[in-house]
Amino acid sequence: MNKKNTLQTTPDKDGYFGKYGGQIIPPQLKPIFDDINEAYTKIIADSDFQNEYQELLKNYVGRPSPLYFAKNLTEKLGGAKIYLKREDLNHTGAHKINHCLGEALLAKKMGKKKLLAETGAGQHGVALATAAAIVGIDCEIHMGEIDIVKQAPNVIRMKLLGAKVVPVSSGGKCLKDAVDSAFAAFVKDPQNIFFGIGSVVGPHPYPMMIRNFQSVVGREAKEQILQVENKLPDFLLACVGGGSNAIGLFHEFLDDKVKMIGVESSGKSFKPGEHAATLTLGSPGEIHGMFTYLLQNDKGEPLPVHSIASGLDYPGIGPIHADLKDKNRVEYTTVNDQEALVAFQELSKVEGIIPALESAHAIAYVIKFAPKLDKDKIIIVNLSGRGDKDIDFVAKQLNLT
């Protein structure tokens, strides 16, 4: 099915992008995921679905998001021209709403009764609960008890949006345990529940579906940059957790002469447990129903991970990125907690834009990188989200209170 000579790949019939991806799930669940794949293929080609989805992206999310020339930052750094793709201006403040709306609409059209997911810091939970509210479908979010206490405002948001928040008291009471709990709940009634995965990860067809929903970011960015600069950018930059905002920007440009850089979190250090630099330091293995790079011990179990940005705190990575790394199409690099914190403040002061701590990783890299380039070069950075959610945490780090 792939067009010849394109890197905008469709997975093979088993869900593999090159060596990565697949459906590593219990055999009794295979029909469920195959059914989603079939429904997805049919439904997204349907004009009713497209009309509804495009209408929501335009008038509910506020798309197209602006492509903003960061003049002050560009002048201060004195190198390449820096453009920011403003996903922070979307309703709910980040790119996640793009795919959550797609999933909610698909679930509804498939006749599912409920959207179900886990959440760590609550960003995915809030985006999914929002999509469920507007589309009109029940929503259940599993969250570790420790995270519930730490992220109280997001718990309140989800409840206000009409979602049921299920506290998880097993294990370490954090994201990993919430994943297990949500998956167990899904397996009890997979006919009626749609599992709302939060990034380009998980078993086929999720990486492909989420990528396709997010690829609107790059399609818009291409049109916008051609309009103002009359040429393609030289570089694309995005932070990488599971990889959805990055591939969302990259996908449309994969066959063009544009260099792409994904920025992972090197956290506190490169020691195991202190970072989330999956593609930089991980190795191929299995996690969450897919074959991909992960940070693992010698038994193949995922290692603990850390990042100052909770959205980057994931030991795996979307299989499309694993494939693009092996093909040397995208370069993956790292930024640490301290650099991200400095970039968070820098963008706030210089441009009046408070970025999400996740997005601050991409900003930190552009701060190091842009000054080395000529002034006629163009960089587009995906500003995946806004930093309102992070200000209490940052205030404590910087003793601002």
| Whole-number Cα distances in Å, 375 to 85, 308, 370, 378, 381 | 19, 32, 9, 8, 16
Question: Would residue 181 show up in a list of annotated catalytic residues for this protein?
Answer: no
Binder among 245, 265, 280, 333 for ligand PLP (CB under 6 A): 245
Binder among 118, 220, 264, 358 for ligand PLP (CB under 6 A): 358
Q: Per-residue string for binding with ligand PLP, 258-297, x by CB under 6 A?
A: ----------------------------------------
CA–CA gap between residue 1 and residue 10 (Å, rounded): 7
Q: Which is nearer to ligand PLP, 39 or 240 (CB)?
A: 240
Task: Tell me: does residue 11 bind ligand PLP (CB under 6 A).
Answer: no
Q: Which is nearer to ligand PLP, 79 or 345 (CB)?
A: 345
345 contacts 309 by C-beta, under 8 angstroms = no
| Residues in region 152-211 near ligand PLP by CB under 6 A | 199
Rounded to 5°, angle at Cα 102 from 206 and 18? 25
The site that binds ligand PLP (CB under 6 A) totals a number of residues, namely 18
Residue of 85, 215, 384, 389 with catalytic role = 384
Task: Tell me: does residue 315 bind ligand PLP (CB under 6 A).
Answer: no
Query: Could you tell me the two tokens for 343?
Result: 């970039």
315 contacts 276 by C-beta, under 8 angstroms = yes
Task: Tell me: does residue 94 bind ligand PLP (CB under 6 A).
Answer: yes
Binder among 359, 370, 373, 379 for ligand PLP (CB under 6 A): 359
Q: Per-residue string for binding with ligand PLP, 372-391, x by CB under 6 A?
A: ------------xx------
* Minimum separation from the CB atom of position 33 to ligand PLP (A): 20
Give the phi and the psi of residue 262 in degrees, each rounded to 5. -100, 135
Query: Could you tell me the two tokens for 19?
Result: 């060596």
Coil, helix or strand at residue 226: helix
Question: Would residue 55 show up in a list of annotated catalytic residues for this protein?
Answer: no
* Minimum separation from the CB atom of position 253 to ligand PLP (A): 17
Residue of 81, 85, 87, 96 with catalytic role = 96
DSSP class per residue in 247-290: HHHHGGGTTSS-EEEEEEEEES-SSTTS-B-HHHH-EEEEETTE
Would you tell me how many other CB atoms lie within 10 Å of the CB of residue 254? Answer: 19
233 contacts 345 by C-beta, under 8 angstroms = no
* Radius of gyration for the chain, computed over Cα atoms and rounded to the nearest angstrom: 20
Q: Which is nearer to ligand PLP, 22 or 385 (CB)?
A: 385
What is the residue whose two structure tokens read 């701590």? 357
Residue of 87, 118, 346, 358 with catalytic role = 118
| Residues in region 205-244 near ligand PLP by CB under 6 A | 239-244
* Minimum separation from the CB atom of position 361 to ligand PLP (A): 8
Coil, helix or strand at residue 121: coil
| Residues in region 28-87 near ligand PLP by CB under 6 A | none
CA–CA gap between residue 214 and residue 116 (Å, rounded): 20
Q: Which is nearer to ligand PLP, 37 or 244 (CB)?
A: 244
Q: Which residues are catalytic?
A: 96, 118, 384
Footprint on this chain of ligand PLP (rule: CB under 6 A): 94, 96, 123, 199, 239-245, 311-312, 356, 358-359, 384-385
